Structure 1
Amino acid sequence: MPKTNEKDAYFFSHDCNARNDPKILALRSVYGAEGYGVYFMLVEILREQPEYRLSVNKYIWNTLAMQMQVEASRLEQIITDCCTEFAENGSTLLVNDGEYLYSASLLRRMGKVDDISNLRREAAQKRWKNQPCKADDGSGASTSNANAEQTDANKRKAKQSKEKQ
Structure 2
Amino acid sequence: MARPQKNNADYFSHDSDMRNDIKIKAVRNKFGVTGYTVWCMMLEYLTSCSDNVMPDDEITIELISGDFGVSVTEIKDVLNYCYLLGLLIHENNLIFSAKLKERLAPIYEKRAKAKEYAERQSRNNGKFDIKSTVQTEVSVTETPQSKVNKSKVNKSNIEKDIVAAKAAALSRRDNFYNSLVPFTEKYSKDMIRSFFDYWSELDRTERKMRFEKQTTWELGKRLATWFKKEPFHGNTKHTPIASDGSSVAGKAALERTNAETNGLKELINSVTIG
Q: What TM-score results when the alignment is normalised by the length of structure 2?
A: 0.42
CA distance in 2 between counterparts of 1:107 and 1:42 reads: 13
1:3 maps to 7
Give the distance between the partners of 2:127 and 2:35, measured in 1 at CA: 58
- What's the counterpart of residue 98 of structure 2? 104
Corresponding residue for residue 113 of structure 1: 107
Gaps of 5+ in 2: 132-274
Q: What residue is the counterpart of 2:33 in the other structure?
A: 33
> How much is the aligned-residue C-alpha RMSD, in angstroms?
2.5
- Secondary structure at 1:101's aligned position in 2? strand
Tell me if structure 1 keeps the 8 A contact 2:61–2:72.
yes
Q: 2:116 aligns with which of 122, 131, 142?
A: 122
- C-alpha deviations, 1:65-119, integer Å up to 9, x for none? 11101111111101111111xx3xxxx1111124101111111112222012211
Q: What CA distance in whole angstroms lies between the structure 1 residues aligned with 2:99 and 2:51?
A: 13
Unaligned runs of 5+ in 1: 134-139, 147-165
Q: Which residue of 1 aligns with 2:78?
A: 78
2-side partners of 1:143 and 1:27: how far apart? 51
- Measured in 2, the distance between the counterparts of 1:95 and 1:142 equals 43
Aligned to 2:16: 16
Aligned mates of 2:87, 2:25 — CA distance in 1 = 11
Counterpart of 2:31, as a letter, is: Y
Deviations 1:19-41 (A, max 9, x none): 11111111111112211111111
Q: Distance in 1 between matches of 2:109 and 2:101?
A: 12
After superposition, give the CA deviation of every residue in 1:136-159 in whole Å (9 maximum; x if it has no partner). Answer: xxxx7999447xxxxxxxxxxxxx
Greater RCO, 1 or 2 (C-alpha within 8 Å, sep 6+): 1
Report the CA distance between 1:59 and its aligned residue: 2.2
- Work out the CA distance in 1 between the residues paired with 2:61 and 2:89: 15
| 2:112 partner amino acid | N
Q: Which has the higher strand share?
A: 1
Measure, in 1, the Cα distance between the counterparts of 2:128 and 2:27.
Answer: 59
Q: What is the percentage of aligned positions where both structures have the same residue?
A: 23
Is 1:93 equivalent to 2:87 in the alignment?
yes
Helix, strand or coil: the match of 1:10? coil
Q: Which has the larger radius of gyration?
A: 2
Kept in 1: contact 2:83–2:89 (CA 8 A): yes
> In the aligned structure 2, how far is the partner of 1:102 from the partner of 1:79?
11
Contact 1:61 1:73 in 2 (8 A): no
Q: Matches of 1:143 and 1:81 in 2, distance apart?
A: 51
CA contact (8 A) 2:88 2:95 kept: yes
